[in-house]
Amino acid sequence: MSKIVQFLAYSGVRAFSEAQWITWQDLDWQRKEIVIRGAPATGTKNCEIRRVPMLPNMEELLQRLAKQREEPLAGKILRILECPKTLKEACKAIGIPALRHHDLRHLFATRCIESGVDIPTVSRWLGHKDGGALAMKVYGHLRNEHSQAMAQKVRF
């Protein structure tokens, strides 16, 4: 899988207004977090800097990327402009309908919620300022498989 696709799926950040601006200096290895600042001129969509946790998959990806670099860890981590082409090729290769880079943000949120992360926390990671209302509207339905698994936990 492409490093760009993995980075977006494991972080939930917006591709063009956030991910393309993340530098090696934005990684807080001790706290295992990524600082999301957005574009230098405009910042993030809600104009606030936020921190997203380095999920284990993300930490592995970043360590792999760091080992592949010949120069010191400085500057931007990724070139996001390749993302639409990479996604189109990947989807075609595995025979699924085309995905947009924003679909990876939805994947991140869905996987987090299905893994048991509460919606207000996922909402903060995504940079929402509404306490989770938008996340509930968008992700409240989740997948049928998850719904069925949750139904098996209910007892009277």
Q: pLDDT (tens digit, 9 = 90+) per residue, 94-115?
A: 888 888 888 888 889 988 988 8
Estimate the share of the chain in helix, then strand, then coil, as percent rounded to the nearest 5. Answer: 50, 10, 40
Give the domains, in start order, of the chain with CATH numbers: 3-151 (1.10.443.10)
Q: Phi/psi at 34 (nearest 5 deg)?
A: -115, 125
Which sign, positive or negative, has the C-alpha torsion 7, 9, 99, 13? Answer: negative
Q: pLDDT (tens digit, 9 = 90+) per residue, 39-83?
A: 888 888 888 899 999 999 999 999 999 988 777 777 888 876 666
pTM: 0.77
